[in-house]
Amino acid sequence: MQKWRRVVAFDAAMIILVILLFSPSFVGLSPFSPQISNMILSVISAAIIGYETVKVNGRAIRAALATKRITEGEGEVPVDDIKRMLGEFEKTSVVGTYAKHGIAELESAERKREKLYAEIGKKFSEGSLTWMKYVEVVDAATNAIAHNTALLARRIQAFDVEDYNRTSRNTITGLFNRNTLPDDIKQEKRQVYELSLNDMRGIVAANERLLVELEKFGIEMGQLETSASAEVNNRLLEEVTTLVEETKYYQ
């Protein structure tokens, strides 16, 4: 909601700017002006205003659609959608830190995947059985990170930051609520919020474990000889596969 308020405020500011620039009562710019400088300046101003307006509104619409797709939870969500949704909360108190962590983990997973693809391609022939096994494991790990982060985005979106802050011990309104709400309700609210925040921390930690394992996987891949035994190959694959299974988060 706050995002759309900012977009509406931006659009209103652009309308006012257009009125000031193009109204004869003010600056009086016009693309049909006989003065070359006035005509050029009017075209440049219109282009800049139009570009910025389309960019801001387009970004807001894409973010809203990304949020809708993630909230509905139908199938795998594109990584760009997850980033857009998390980006809406980066500057939000309480949950902003988790949003930033989520974006950073997605970007790290993408970098590691590309590096591992390149390393696997150096060791094994593309399309071979061994190549496919390694690629599948890397994909499973990075997909697990994306899946977990989509869950993180849903939890952040559902978290009521305003109510959390209102019931915080460090605010006047929080003091009011502590003095007026029954103790059992106050305790229950605190537990619900803490469980939600712990859930977010758990998702971030699970992804970090996967990223560390991918980093170790990359180091061992760099040292792996192409003639390595099947036992060595299977050990590397099983370590990552096991961790992927262990860090699968709630649906």
Give CA–CA dist 186/173, Å, rounded.
Answer: 13
Q: Are residues 35 and 92 in the same domain?
A: no
The tokens describing 68, both together, are 């809708």
- Eight-state DSSP code of residue 102: H
Please state, as a whole number, how many other Cβ atoms lie within 10 Å of the Cβ of residue 214: 24
Q: Compute the chain's Rg from CA coordinates.
A: 26
Reading the block at residue 137, the tokens are: 């494991």
Tell me, yes or no, whether 28 and 54 share the same domain. Answer: yes
Cβ 140 vs Cβ 150: under 8 Å: no
- pLDDT tens sequence for the chain (251 residues): 556 677 788 888 888 888 888 888 878 888 888 888 888 888 898 889 888 888 878 777 776 666 666 666 555 678 888 998 898 899 898 999 999 999 999 999 999 999 999 988 888 888 888 888 889 989 999 999 999 999 999 899 889 988 888 776 544 444 445 456 677 777 788 888 999 999 999 999 999 999 999 998 888 887 776 555 556 667 778 878 888 887 766 55
Q: Do both 139 and 240 map to the same domain?
A: yes
Cβ atoms of residues 119 and 218 within 8 Å = yes
Structural contact between residues 178 and 197, judged by C-beta atoms closer than 8 angstroms: no
By CB neighbour count within 10 A (0-12 exposed, 13-18 middle, 19+ buried), where does 137 fall? buried
Same domain, 149 and 239: yes
**Boundary residue ending a domain (49, 72, 95):** 72
Task: Please name which of 95, 101, 91, 104 lies closest in space to residue 6, comparing C-alpha atoms.
Answer: 91
Q: Are residue 57 and residue 81 in the same domain, yes or no?
A: no
Measured distance CA(223)–CA(86) in Å, rounded: 37
Q: Is 93 helix (H, G, I), strand (E, B) or coil?
A: coil
Name residue 175's amino acid.
L
Same domain, 136 and 239: yes
Do 126 and 198 belong to one domain? Answer: yes
Cα 221 from chain centre: 29
Pair (93, 172) in one structural domain: yes
The reply to whether 182 and 242 lie within a common domain is yes
Q: For residue 112, what are the domain limits?
A: 76-251
Domain end among 72, 89, 110: 72
